[in-house]
Amino acid sequence: MSITIENVKKQFGSFQALDNISLNIETGELIALLGPSGSGKTSLLRIIAGLENLDEGVILFDGENITEINAKERNIGFVFQHYALFKHMTVFDNVAYGLKVRPRKSRPSKKEIANKVHTLLSLVKLEHFANRFPNQLSGGQRQRVALARALAVEPKVLLLDEPFGALDAKVRKDLRRWLRKMHNEFHVTSIFVTHDQEEALDVADRIVVMNKGRIEQVGTPEDVYDHPNSPFVYDFLGNVNLFKGRLKNGQLVHGNYTGPVDEGFTQNDVEAIGYVRPHDIQIERTAILEDMVPAKIIFIHAIGPIVQIELHRQDVDEYLEAELSKEHFRSLKLQRGEQIYIRPKQLKVFIPEDFSI
């Protein structure tokens, strides 16, 4: 089922929660709606579900306008943050529920229902928990039941609102795998809301980055992480160092640093900010390249495969963060307090006045 969202607007009182949202979702895609609190993710999900009315715009399922069709008839499966399992029903009955309440004509036989529930429970590795009640399960297990329950009715669209939000980091990671697995198995068009960048980058086919009721960027995880099209997306999708300087003759000048910028800038002698991810900071013991500037090592966090290094640039009196692989770190034999030389390997420049920053 493909989903098309065209020029959707939604206002709550005088507050514009969604401001002209347009988006195409292909059949079978797993899409993450990612953005800070209040950016409109849940409102958009609820509008797709038919749980919220829109003020303007249309929603199409497989090209058919379903804007006026009510939620029940949209054939959507839901998974919410707070496990909405029926407390008084066993795991089996929870998963079977959507099938059992179907009108007699379309209801599968008891045996068919049992087979389906067992297949789903074995997919989420809970086949031995069929007779338990929700309060006898962990949070992660409950969300797996919720996932199985949502899929039991073979929805055309699966909507998940911060499905793993209430769980601890390790369980969240585990559940991401489940979501991906179930998605691959059922190939149902799925949209999940999250404010967790790592979760979105890890699971989604494409990410829709939202900010203040608008879409900032849509793309694959690689697109949005490696080629953010705005300072907001850069900032929101990971750690970043800022080189706040000026654009002069096609170069960014920031303190003693002068380096090339992408082509396409016609402005000259204007304020410009270079964005650099920590792993794009090159560190050397000597200034082997012309655009290297000195910096002092303030702190080294060497736990795990990636070593984080806090640096201080004396020329501009600013701090930055660099990341190296442990091997590279060892080969450089870096010590706290030492002076080294740095340069951005990759620098994305934005002109503040283009983005009202």
Shortest distance in whole angstroms from residue 121 CB to ligand ATP: 30
Minimum CB distance to ligand ATP smaller for 49 or for 324 = 49
Minimum CB distance to ligand ATP smaller for 18 or for 320 = 18
Minimum CB distance to ligand ATP smaller for 17 or for 175 = 17
Minimum CB distance to ligand ATP smaller for 151 or for 204 = 204
Give yes or no for a contact between 31 and 190, defined as CB atoms under 8 angstroms apart: yes
In a 10 Å sphere around its CB, with 0-12 CB exposed, 13-18 middle and 19+ buried, how is residue 212 labelled?
A: middle
Shortest distance in whole angstroms from residue 237 CB to ligand ATP: 16
Distance CA 329, CA 313 (A): 19
Give yes or no for a contact between 296 and 312, defined as CB atoms under 8 angstroms apart: yes
Shortest distance in whole angstroms from residue 183 CB to ligand ATP: 21
Shortest distance in whole angstroms from residue 196 CB to ligand ATP: 10
Minimum CB distance to ligand ATP smaller for 200 or for 297 = 200
DSSP state of 334: -
Shortest distance in whole angstroms from residue 57 CB to ligand ATP: 15
Locate 108 and state its tokens.
């599968």
Minimum CB distance to ligand ATP smaller for 46 or for 277 = 46
User: If we measure between CA atoms, which residue out of 281, 278, 177, 176 comes closest to residue 237?
Assistant: 278
Binding positions for ligand ATP, rule: CB under 6 A: 12, 15, 17, 35, 37-43, 195
Locate 19 and state its tokens.
């401001």
Phi, psi at 259, each rounded to 5°: -150, 160
Shortest distance in whole angstroms from residue 44 CB to ligand ATP: 7
User: If we measure between CA atoms, which residue out of 34, 32, 9, 5 comes closest to residue 20?
Assistant: 9
